[in-house]
Chains A and B, each alone.
Chain A
Amino acid sequence: MDLIIRNGRIVDGTGLPAYQGDIGIRDGRIVSVGGRIPGTATEEIDAAGRVVAPGFIDPHTHFDVQLLWDGQARPALEHGITTVVPGNCSLSLAPLKVEHRPRLVGMFQQIEEMPDAAFDGAFEWTWESFADYLTALRSKLAVNVAPLAGHSVIRLWVMGDAANERAANADEIAGMQELLRQCLEAGAVGLSTSFVDVDERLQPVPSRYAHAEEIDALAAVLGEYGRMLQVVPEFYATDITLARVDQLAELSLKHQIPTTFSPLFDSAANPDNISRVMARVEEQMARGARVWPQVQTRPIDISFTFEVASLLFAGTPGWYRTMRLPRDEKIAALRDPERLARLLEEAEPGGNTDRFRKMRVRAVARREDDGLVGRSLGDIAAERDSTPARVMVDIALANDLDASFVATDLGHNDPARVGALLAHPMVHIGASDGGAHIQSFATYGDTGYLFSRFVRERHDLTLEAAVKKITADTARIWGIAGRGLLQPGFAADITVFDPDVIDRGDEVVAHDMPEAGMRYVRGSRGIYTVVVNGAVAWSAAAGGYTEARQGQVVTR
């Protein structure tokens, strides 16, 4: 054998109770599970006292661009993620004509907060078709990829600028069907679309111009292959989300396809949302429809600086426009009393300071401001006889914009409610957004948080149930064959971890993007070894990431 993992507590992804045993691997596949494997292997790992589980699958990521320079999808891999699904929310890097690249870059930057440097010179565009994109990707992969094809780029390819203007005609719909067919033949795991996103001009993305006939026609192609339709619904409005559930259910039943919508959030501001949406999902699932709500494990926290336009300011257009200004103009605007007065009125209308009062100072550049770190803007404002928004601006300017703030507990933060939701048999754990929003929050470590918070601390799920949710269930929901279970014949994607320690690390600033670009990340805790297709891709004992590049496009 190539690799034997010995003495582990095997949690095999079925949800059945864990048991002690060895796992043997040869040629990238599991050949033996349980019992004592005689003889030796080229490499052996002692997993005594640790859980041996299938590698985790993250079904909602935006690692598309990052994978081109970082096939390890750092830091997802060190959290035990062995397969990622990029291409969500109607955006994928293919199929894409050369002339449409600037449009896609703009959409990625707007929706996923990808900086310029992530595109400029960090990789070479060598493809237009989905097949050629996967060829460019394959040699770099340390993680597995199950890529979605994006509806917005498919529309762009077929309709050009009209993709953002009008309904498609019959010929154009047929063209999109054929293009989607090519993507699925090449290895796409499905189609993603969005009903809510806007592009860099703050205009609806192309997928939002699609009428029912177009979506139905594309779903029909998915039906030919039994592939997934992923959508971003109006998650902030329950009635609309319910309508989307019904639409997806009809498509699922008509074309016999799985569908998933993400995200589904819990919110104190809309406490009935979860129960109403899940009641509808249950009804539709009982009819035989496959409509999987994706729910993230982590609460919603958003960090921001004045250097970039955070999505946190999307609800205050004046602030958003100001944050998008070039640096010098931005500082000038904030120092202009009249313009600042208008911004403050927008932020705190009629003296209502709710928007910024609870936000805290996260980091500062000036040593004399160190005492502000961790304190709320409301607290500092009271001390200075000012207002929260005003002190935020003052702190930012005093630190030459090199100050960061954090809005915590913006929602999805009631552990009892979220825990019950995650344990629901019709909830698909996902929606991490891995690799996106990189300058607002860390989209890594949701799996560690699942175990630390909802298994170990709260007991909302058993260890076995939690593993099943993010391995075998995910593989089955997405039609990813031969993965998600520890069974002979399955791909050797394996995560070894300590169930008493596994967790997400603290959110920290890293400058590991191209040209030392900044992002928020989290390391992992309690993960010991991550195996992808039989190769050790990450090992705590070996100091972290290895040279292994055994990742595959799992649909081909």
Chain B
Amino acid sequence: MELSRARSFTTARPGEEWADIARRTLADQDPGQAVEALQSWNLHLFLRQPRGRILGCDVIFTEPPLTDAG
């Protein structure tokens, strides 16, 4: 059975930071802009203390909310 489309996400691999994840998931974008985009879609991670720390179990969205994406 096919699932309906859901907001895409990933999780960090050991040692990965924002730039690594951006490079892996948004490879066709400018690296700096890709990191900014990733952080803007994941404020639940980017705004927590210490700022931007990513934990192994975190859900990291790789696109904006579907309602906003249209």
Contact = CB atoms under 8 A, between A and B. Distances in A.
Q: Do A and B come from one complex?
A: yes
Interface of A: 166-167, 193, 195, 204, 207-215, 234, 237, 239-240, 242-244, 246-247, 279-280, 283-284, 286-287
B6 A167 contact: no
Contacts, number: 57
Contact of A243 (B7, B14, B15): B7
Residue from B4, B6, B55, B57 with most neighbouring chain A CB atoms (10 Å)? B57
B55 A208 contact: yes
A211 B14 contact: yes
Contacts of A244: 59
A-B pairs, 4 with minimum CB distance: A167-B14, A211-B56, A243-B59, A243-B9
Residue from A212, A215, A287 with most neighbouring chain B CB atoms (10 Å)? A212
B7 A210 contact: no
B27 interface: no
Contact of B57 (A210, A283, A284, A287): A210
Contacts of A207: 57
Interface residues of B, number: 19
Residue from A204, A243, A244, A246 with most neighbouring chain B CB atoms (10 Å)? A243
A195 B57 contact: yes
Given A167-B14, A237-B44, A239-B61, A214 B3 contact: no
Interface of B: 1, 3-4, 6-7, 9, 11-15, 44, 55-59, 61, 65
B44 A210 contact: no
Contacts of A212: 11, 56
Contacts of A214: 56
A247 B55 CA distance: 16
A286 B15 CA distance: 36
Contacts of A195: 57-58
Contacts of B57: 193, 195, 207-211, 215
Contacts of A208: 55-58
A246 B13 CA distance: 18
A208 B3 CA distance: 27
Contacts of B12: 211
B56 A242 contact: no
A509 B65 CA distance: 44
B7 A242 contact: yes
Residue from A215, A239, A246 with most neighbouring chain B CB atoms (10 Å)? A239
A287 B9 contact: no
A125 B56 CA distance: 32
B42 to A, nearest CB: 10
B61 A283 contact: no
Contacts of B14: 166-167, 211, 213
B3 to A, nearest CB: 5
25 contacts: A166-B14, A167-B15, A204-B55, A207-B57, A208-B55, A208-B56, A208-B58, A209-B55, A210-B56, A211-B11, A211-B12, A212-B11, A212-B56, A214-B56, A239-B61, A240-B44, A240-B59, A242-B6, A243-B6, A246-B3, A247-B59, A280-B6, A283-B1, A284-B3, A287-B1
